[in-house]
Structure 1
Amino acid sequence: MSLPKSRLLVIGCVWPEPNSSAAGSRILQLLEFFLAENYEITFVSTAARSEFAVDLEKMNIASQVIIMNHPSFDELLKKIRPDLVLFDRFMTEEQFGWRVDETCPDAVKILDTEDLHFLRKTRTEAYKKNISAESLYFDVDITKREIGSIYRCDLSLIISEVEMDLLQKEFKIAKNLLHYLPFLLETISYENKAKLPPFNERQNFISIGNFLHEPNWNAVLYLKEKIWPLIRQQLPNSNLEIYGAYPSQKVWNLNNEKEGFIVKGRARNAEYVMKNAKVCLAPIQFGAGLKGKLIQAMQCGTPSVTTSIGAEGIPGALDWNGFITNDPKEFAEKSVRLYSEEKLWKNSVENGFRIINSRFNKEAFQQDFSERLTDLVQNLNFYRQKNFIGKMLQHHQHRSTYFMAKFIEEKEKNKKTAG
């Protein structure tokens, strides 16, 4: 007689779109991990289903659209009776965490931060005001909200070592509440490398990124205004192809074929366009977490030029698969060298393979995460007793969110009655 499967409920901010963003790839990696751990998974979201979302049913994952501030979610919890609840970003924990506590108090609550939203937001504001982000993030509301969410959960998954250090050193969050879990990637074998197009079969520069993400739009604008003209002066026959999901009209307006600045929009197959490009350009000025486009470039054997923010949390002590610079003139010069010098290009490609194989080894991180979950499930009461701040925040959040939700429920009832 086989043991019953553990039940996992994933509450997503949006439906997973792995071909649109790094966040979409990240949640898909987590779903695959839990499937391999023999979990029975239900994925829910308040967002409308996207035509670009992965087909969860094909993965044997149940899915459902849910309503915010509605008692139907409580009924769903009673039906599923999850052993674990995974919140995809802190906003979903704010919206549904208190309901999980009331209906399924013994369920382990895990927060996948994706990246630290407060860090991304304050870096954005700091960039616009030309001030230090450190002068902002202790005071803004989003920091208090996100840190509060981390304390209310039993474990928070942190994608970058830089963010782990920030949370522990600056915010004094106990290590037992955090778990470093970067992208979970397959190692690149010799056979995989041999299948990738070589230097002389590739052409064009590439920039790629979801345009709903402000750092990506800013990076493309920075390329257009400050970097690409310098590159084109030295490589007058080269083109830069701009890919990204959800481009607005202002993005399309940048297209200029005479200048070799070609806006392509959404890539039907991001891997295909990346592995056929010669060099990836990502002059990212602000942001947080790990940059999926640069990880994918390494997997595809495509060297890249980026900034210190772009490379943050990726190489560790290893050499970058190209160059890291924050100066636009040097950025252009290094880009031209990578595009033109075959030996430099090949060495950079190998650097990328080393980073993927040693820094994002799927098997090593999955094993560690599995053991951490087992310990957490078996000793849940012990860890919760140690987290007094979390218990205090739960108490206050429950009251405020509870009354607000009840107010909205009654308001909706009155609307129907009046109708």
Structure 2
Amino acid sequence: MKKLLLITDVDFWNGGAGHRVRIGALVSYLGDNTELYIAYIGIVSPMETPRIAELKATVIILDNEDILSPMKYGEKLAEKTKDIRLDAVIIEYIHLSYMLNFVNEDVTMLLDMHDIVSDRTEAFHKFNYGGIIHEMSAEDEFGIMDVYDHVMVLCEPDRKKLYDIIPGKVILCPHPNLVHRRLVRPKVNTITYIASEYLPNVDAIIHFMETAWPLVSAEKNIELHIYGNVCHPLMGRELPARVFLKGYAADINKVYDNADIIINPVRFGAGMKIKTLEALASTVPLVTTAHGARGLEQLAGKGLIIVDNTEDFAFEIQRLINDCLIRQRLVAEAGDFIEQNYGPEKCFAPLSDAIQL
């Protein structure tokens, strides 16, 4: 069995945000198909230990007492993996590429890209949020990518963009989902938004509440339920009528069970949106933006509703509220699409080929 090392500073075992869920799915697949080692850059609390113990991997905490310099973390990695004959290394994400200096050069080196960072940088600046998070120029980013043997991306637009920039290195590995078929209730009572406190998510729901929600709620006794850590920056803010902050939900399936329509009004960012895929797999009618549906454009009107204009966004929600048959058709199409295209084996087949599993 191949020996593979995944290097990350993301506490993915805690779940919640899309990037954690994505890494968790990758780890689950690799744990079933390789002898997997995970090198974690960060400090683990005692409460996290049981969740880490459940992983199908050997987890190496590089230092659980102090936050170290990149050089020190690299030295710790080299020391703790020196006796492991690795076949491949996956880096999560590009900012940890310095770790390649501390692994053997004869291993297959892969970079997992949740987003193209230079695209995200450009989008943040466009919406006047420049300097908020880690930024990178396209020239610097593509230069680092070229060091790797393979670069994993989540969606077809990213694969297409990088295809000629790093020829022969891009592999498309979407995020897998299992379909949970739900009955569509005749009457809509609850519109639901689920998100982390990532800035584009906060921007999205504030913009929605200020612009589209008054139009949606004007004639209907509908409630908007907001779940996840996106609630934290909204606390203390005056909310519109019939908007409720529900916070973190330990059982996300119960959230989808109680939702009649899911929204993802995200306006900017980069990459494929994990929450969009999860909503499709959960077979709850979904209204999102062009950015929220990135990589899923072929489903417009045939699995989800894609619309950017505020008035049109509100109109499409109202249309779904008033037409149960449309809601039933959308979720049936969404479930079929996910079943056919987003199973774990299909999503990670290009990765399996790249590391010759």
TM-score by length of 2: 0.88
1:198 and 2:184 aligned: yes
Q: What residue number does 2:65 align with? A: none
1:217 and 2:217 aligned: no
Query: Matched residue pairs, number?
Result: 344
Looking at structure 2, the residues matched to 105 and 332 of structure 1 have their Cα atoms a distance apart, in angstroms, of 54
Give the unaligned 5+ runs of structure 2: 63-67
Larger gyration radius, structure 1 or structure 2: 1
- 1:213-362 aligned at under 5 Å gives the runs 213-235=198-220, 237-245=221-229, 247-248=231-232, 250-254=233-237, 256=239, 259-316=241-298, 319-362=301-344
Q: What residue number does 2:194 align with? A: 208
Distance 1:355 1:40, change over 3 A: same
Aligned partners of 2:184 and 2:324 also within 8 Å: no
Quick one: which of 157, 166, 172 aligns to 1:173?
A: 166
Quick one: which of 136, 155, 159 aligns to 1:160?
A: 155
- In structure 2, give the amino acid aligned to 1:223: F
Quick one: which of 23, 28, 31 aligns to 2:27?
A: 31
- In structure 2, give the amino acid aligned to 1:173: I
**CA deviation map 1:32-62 (0-9, x unaligned):** 221222x221212222336579823213312
Q: What residue number does 2:113 align with? A: 113
1:128 and 2:120 aligned: no
- In structure 2, give the amino acid aligned to 1:373: I
Distance 1:254 1:345, change over 3 A: farther
Q: What residue number does 1:417 align with? A: none
Looking at structure 2, the residues matched to 75 and 26 of structure 1 have their Cα atoms a distance apart, in angstroms, of 28
- 1:65-80 aligned at under 5 Å gives the runs 65-66=61-62, 67=68, 68-70=70-72, 71-80=75-84
- Percent sequence identity over matched residues? 21
Displacement after TM superposition at 1:201 (Å)? 7.5
Looking at structure 2, the residues matched to 200 and 318 of structure 1 have their Cα atoms a distance apart, in angstroms, of 23
1:44 and 2:39 aligned: yes
Q: What residue number does 1:391 align with? A: none
TM-score by length of 1: 0.76
Aligned partners of 1:19 and 1:269 also within 8 Å: no
SS of residue paired to 2:177: coil
SS of residue paired to 1:80: coil
**CA deviation map 1:82-109 (0-9, x unaligned):** 2211101101113x11122xxx121111
Aligned partners of 1:164 and 1:180 also within 8 Å: yes
Distance 1:234 1:359, change over 3 A: farther
Q: What residue number does 1:394 align with? A: none
Q: What residue number does 1:396 align with? A: none
**CA deviation map 1:99-156 (0-9, x unaligned):** 22xxx121111110112122122112113399xxxxxxxxx74433322221111111
1:16 and 2:12 aligned: yes
Quick one: which of 81, 87, 101 aligns to 2:85?
A: 81
Looking at structure 2, the residues matched to 290 and 269 of structure 1 have their Cα atoms a distance apart, in angstroms, of 23
Give the unaligned 5+ runs of structure 1: 131-139, 376-419
1:148 and 2:155 aligned: no
Looking at structure 2, the residues matched to 52 and 199 of structure 1 have their Cα atoms a distance apart, in angstroms, of 38
Aligned partners of 1:322 and 1:338 also within 8 Å: no
Looking at structure 1, the residues matched to 102 and 38 of structure 2 have their Cα atoms a distance apart, in angstroms, of 16
Looking at structure 1, the residues matched to 213 and 60 of structure 2 have their Cα atoms a distance apart, in angstroms, of 45
Looking at structure 1, the residues matched to 305 and 285 of structure 2 have their Cα atoms a distance apart, in angstroms, of 9
Distance 1:121 1:332, change over 3 A: same
SS of residue paired to 1:147: helix
Aligned partners of 2:212 and 2:311 also within 8 Å: yes
Displacement after TM superposition at 1:203 (Å)? 3.2
Higher helix share: 1
- In structure 2, give the amino acid aligned to 1:231: V
Looking at structure 1, the residues matched to 171 and 32 of structure 2 have their Cα atoms a distance apart, in angstroms, of 19
Aligned partners of 2:173 and 2:350 also within 8 Å: no
Looking at structure 1, the residues matched to 3 and 177 of structure 2 have their Cα atoms a distance apart, in angstroms, of 25
- In structure 2, give the amino acid aligned to 1:266: Y
Q: What residue number does 2:175 align with? A: 183
Looking at structure 2, the residues matched to 318 and 53 of structure 1 have their Cα atoms a distance apart, in angstroms, of 42
Displacement after TM superposition at 1:72 (Å)? 2.2
Displacement after TM superposition at 1:370 (Å)? 1.7
Distance 1:72 1:148, change over 3 A: same
Distance 1:373 1:31, change over 3 A: same
Displacement after TM superposition at 1:220 (Å)? 1.0
Looking at structure 1, the residues matched to 48 and 308 of structure 2 have their Cα atoms a distance apart, in angstroms, of 34
Distance 1:339 1:52, change over 3 A: farther
Looking at structure 2, the residues matched to 254 and 348 of structure 1 have their Cα atoms a distance apart, in angstroms, of 34
Displacement after TM superposition at 1:346 (Å)? 0.5
SS of residue paired to 2:51: coil
Aligned partners of 1:16 and 1:54 also within 8 Å: no
- In structure 1, give the amino acid aligned to 2:201: N
SS of residue paired to 2:163: helix
